[in-house]
Amino acid sequence: VSADLTSEIWEKVKNHPCYSEEAHHHYARMHVAVAPVCNIQCNYCNRKYDCANESRPGVVSEKLSPEQAADKVLAVASTIPQLTVLGIAGPGDPLANPAKTFKTFELVNKVAPDIKLCLSTNGLALLDHVDAIAKCNVNHVTITINAIDPHVGARIYPWIFYKHKRHVGIDAAKILIERQLQGLGVLAARDILCKINSVMIPGINDRHLVEVNKEVKARGAFLHNIMPLISSPEHGTVFGLNGQRGPTAWELKTLQDSCEGEMKMMRHCRQCRADAVGLLGDDRRAEFTTERIAALG
Ligand code: CLF
Ligand code: SF4
């Protein structure tokens, strides 16, 4: 990874377990679940549970206030010295809960200034918060973009809530896609590193993701992470209930291979929960419930 990166960018990614494949063996991230509300509906989401911005539906997490979240960051940082990144990724959309999200970042900047801040969003509200993101020193943003064609998008998103109004169908997908791509362009122009997540949904966007890859690359994305749809009826998602399957490992790898060009593809994603703690793939969240943190004093 290091060979083709400028030293300035390398400094920004070398300790980030998601942005650098090497780093994920040595550095840990944690998420705090401070963002319960969402402003869109994805057919792969079950809104009773965690957001699937990082795309693992169907697991409940404990919701935290910004103050509880900052306490948790301190508790985790003192137990896991490899902790380098705090991400907010749900359970809803962080930017549909801007007061809680930015308050949390502000508190963490104060109590643990060495921790890097990371944000994962569906992108609908991104343009409204670019200044706040930059002001809090968030230098890694993930936008989940599953389509750039509204006809494809309409099969993934039944509605969005935008400017006090609910939009449905192609109209909804068109607004969402425009906002996502514009948001990506603005962040990239401000030197905030952007990773794009896409959920691969066979028969819906699997072929189309090659086009998505080209477009996000052209607009300045740093890394593209294509993740498999997790779909089973017990998750209660629209796709799960409709019998929509996820891709096979071979289908996923073939698509990732066909997108691999000058831009890196991420292949070590673990589709984390909104309250994940620890090294990727080594989940230690059970050690840090609010009760346990309170007991530590
Ligand atoms: Fe979290 Fe996401 Fe930041 Fe990483 S996770 S907000 S970029 S700190 Fe990482 Fe987890 Fe994959 Fe996400 S392995 S789901 S890519
Ligand atoms: Fe669910 Fe996340 Fe989609 Fe919102 S953006 S509907 S929380 S998967």
| Greatest extent of the chain over all pairs of C-alpha atoms, in Å | 53
> Looking up tokens 């990614």, which residue turns up?
13
Q: Is the CB of 52 under 6 A from ligand 2?
A: yes
pLDDT at 237 over 80: yes
Atom of ligand 1 nearest to the CA of 195: 7
- Nearest Cα neighbor of 12 from 138, 103, 106, 129 is 138
Residue 217 in tokens: 């690359």
Tell me whether strands 83-88 and 28-31 are parallel, antiparallel or unpaired: parallel
Residue 28's DSSP bridge partners are 83
The pLDDT assigned to 226 comes to: 96
Q: Is the CB of 28 under 6 A from ligand 2?
A: no
Q: How far apart are CA 195 and CA 134, in angstroms?
A: 16
Q: Is the CB of 53 under 6 A from ligand 2?
A: yes
Atom of ligand 2 nearest to the CA of 38: 4
Over residues 176-192, the pLDDT tens digits come to 999 999 999 999 999 99
CB 133, CB 109: distance < 8 Å:
no
Long-range contacts of 11-16 (CB under 8 A, 24+ apart): 12/139, 12/140, 12/193, 13/193, 13/222, 15/84, 15/85, 15/116, 16/84, 16/85, 16/116, 16/118, 16/140
Burial 6-17 (b: 16+ CB within 10 A, else e): eeebeebbbbbb
CB 37, CB 53: distance < 8 Å:
no
Q: Is the CB of 148 under 6 A from ligand 2?
A: no
ipTM rounded to 2 decimals = 0.94
- Distance from Cα 38 to the centre of ligand 2, integer Å: 6
Q: Is the CB of 21 under 6 A from ligand 1?
A: no
According to CATH, what is the number of the domain 15-296? 3.20.20.70
Atom of ligand 1 nearest to the CA of 89: 6
Alpha-carbon Rg for the chain, nearest whole angstrom, is 18
Distances from the Cα of 271 to the Cα of 34, 76, 82, 228, 281, angstroms: 18, 20, 20, 9, 9
- Residues 160-166, mean pLDDT to the nearest whole number: 95
Task: Tally the residues of the chain.
Answer: 297
Least trusted range by pLDDT, from 95-109, 116-130, 236-250: 236-250
Over residues 45-97, the pLDDT tens digits come to 865 555 555 554 445 567 899 999 999 999 999 999 999 999 999 889 999 99
Domains in the chain: boundaries: 15-296
Ligand showing the shortest atom-to-Cα distance for residue 86: 1
Q: Is the CB of 28 under 6 A from ligand 1?
A: no
> Would the pTM count as exceeding 0.95?
no
pLDDT-derived band of residue 296, with 50, 70 and 90 as boundaries?
A: low
> Residue 45: left if φ>0, alpha if ψ -120 to 50, beta else—which one?
beta
Alpha helices in 58-139 (DSSP H): 66-79, 98-111, 130-135
- Distance from Cα 12 to the centre of ligand 2, integer Å: 28
Q: Is the CB of 180 under 6 A from ligand 2?
A: no
CB 239, CB 202: distance < 8 Å:
no
pLDDT at 284 over 80: yes
What residue type is 71 in one-letter code? D
Q: How far apart are CA 257 and CA 199, in angstroms?
A: 16
Higher pLDDT, 4 or 229: 229
Atom of ligand 1 nearest to the CA of 54: 14
Distance from the Cα of residue 115 to its chain's centroid: 18
Give the residue whose CA is nearest to atom 7 of ligand 1. Answer: 18
Q: Is the CB of 122 under 6 A from ligand 2?
A: yes
CB 185, CB 217: distance < 8 Å:
no
Q: Is the CB of 93 under 6 A from ligand 2?
A: yes
Atom of ligand 1 nearest to the CA of 19: 7
